[in-house]
């Protein structure tokens, strides 16, 4: 097993109040870890730290055995991709969002890849020209996810991306993510409160009051 991410004695406080307390965690390449725990226990904070959006007060976070601060930020964001619960879509159409990853990389837009990705998320090719404001919550979430997956990251962080979605949408996203993990070597870290997702998960990390309490 190859180690991909490691947290060593990570502490995080805001205004002297401790939010994460001595977090130690090793994540191997290809893992699918599900993070669970009460609201406010520190799950999103751990993910923001791993995504290098915030920095610990003490301790270190390694990506492929190197401190995450030693990576060029844009490069790191492409390797470790963080998807939020409430995604923001921009521009006017689905196309504007799905072409964005090509544009920031100065790459030619690959329309076939675009359609292939839409189909992976059970959306047909006509969605390309749909107006963002006309999308349902589930469609919106899927488009945001696809935007992050146009070029596959090594590590995909999903922060309650299925919260508030109906069963069908949850299932589509679940199948999509499972396929990436099983067949495309994407390491997945998923925060969820969804009982069926927790039941399906082989490895659960429980967070309570800023500490890892036990695993499954
Ligand atoms: N920048 C911040 N300023 C103040 N409090 C924060 C900040 N970030 C997180 N917290 C607090 O840290 C705790 C953990 O938050 P969070 O990681 O979002 O929890 P979870 O995702 O498990 O619901 C909460 O009590 C939250 O209010
Ligand atoms: Mg959270």
Per-residue pLDDT of 130-161, as tens digits, reads 999 999 988 999 999 999 999 999 999 999 99
C-beta separation of 91 from 132 below 8 A = yes
**Mean pLDDT (the chain, rounded):** 94
- State phi, psi for 207 to the nearest 5 degrees: -115, 130
C-beta separation of 96 from 102 below 8 A = no
Per-residue pLDDT at 164: 85
C-beta separation of 108 from 71 below 8 A = no
Is the pLDDT confidence value at 216 over 70?
Answer: no
Distance 45 CA to ligand 1 centre (A): 6
Q: What is the pLDDT of residues 57-116, one digit of tens each?
A: 999 999 999 999 999 999 999 999 999 877 889 999 999 999 999 999 999 999 999 999
Give CA 100 to chain center in angstroms: 18
Per-residue pLDDT at 13: 98
Distance 190 CA to ligand 1 centre (A): 17
Assess whether the C-beta atom of 42 lies below 6 angstroms from ligand 1.
Answer: yes
C-beta separation of 152 from 187 below 8 A = no
Per-residue pLDDT at 199: 81
Assess whether the C-beta atom of 41 lies below 6 angstroms from ligand 1.
Answer: yes
Which ligand minimizes its atom distance to the CA of 207?
1
- What are the DSSP calls for 5-23, one per residue? EEEEEEEEEETTEEEEEEE
What is the reported pTM? 0.94
Residues paired with 122 in a beta bridge:
none
Is the pLDDT confidence value at 163 over 60?
Answer: yes
Assess whether the C-beta atom of 215 lies below 6 angstroms from ligand 1.
Answer: no
Domains of the chain, start order: 3-215 (3.40.50.300)
pLDDT band at 198 (very low <50, low <70, confident <90, very high): confident
Distances (CA, A) of 216 to 28, 138, 202: 16, 30, 7
Testing ligand 1's pocket by substitution, the residue of 10, 11, 13, 14 carrying the most ligand atoms inside 8 A of its CB is: 14
Give CA 158 to chain center in angstroms: 3
Q: What is the pLDDT of residues 97-108, one digit of tens each?
A: 999 999 999 999
Burial grade of 14 (CB within 10 A; 0-12, 13-18, 19 or more) = exposed
Distance 29 CA to ligand 2 centre (A): 24
Per-residue pLDDT at 215: 58
What is the dihedral sign for C-alpha 127, 131, 132, 136? Answer: negative
Distance 60 CA to ligand 1 centre (A): 20
C-beta separation of 156 from 188 below 8 A = yes
Is the pLDDT confidence value at 214 over 80?
Answer: no
């Amino acid at each position: 097993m190859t180690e991909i991410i490691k947290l060593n004695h990570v502490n995080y406080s805001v205004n002297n109040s401790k939010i994460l307390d001595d977090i130690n965690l090793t994540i191997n390449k290809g893992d699918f870890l599900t993070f669970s725990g009460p609201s406010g226990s520190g799950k999103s904070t751990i993910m923001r730290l791993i995504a290098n959006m915030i920095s610990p007060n003490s301790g270190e976070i390694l990506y492929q055995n190197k401190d995450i601060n030693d990576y060029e930020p844009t490069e790191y964001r492409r390797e470790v991709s963080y998807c939020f619960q409430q995604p923001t879509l921009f521009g006017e159409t689905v196309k504007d969002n799905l072409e964005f990853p090509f544009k920031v990389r100065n790459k030619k837009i690959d329309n076939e890849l675009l359609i292939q990705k839409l189909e992976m998320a059970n959306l047909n090719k006509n969605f390309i020209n749909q107006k963002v404001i006309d999308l349902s919550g589930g469609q919106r979430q899927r488009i945001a996810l696809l935007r992050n997956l146009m070029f596959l990251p090594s590590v995909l962080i999903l922060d309650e991306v299925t919260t508030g979605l109906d069963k069908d949408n949850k299932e589509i996203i679940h199948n999509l993510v499972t396929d990436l993990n099983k067949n495309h070597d994407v390491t997945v870290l998923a925060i969820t409160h969804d009982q069926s997702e927790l039941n399906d998960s082989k490895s659960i990390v429980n967070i309570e009051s800023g500490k890892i309490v036990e695993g499954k």
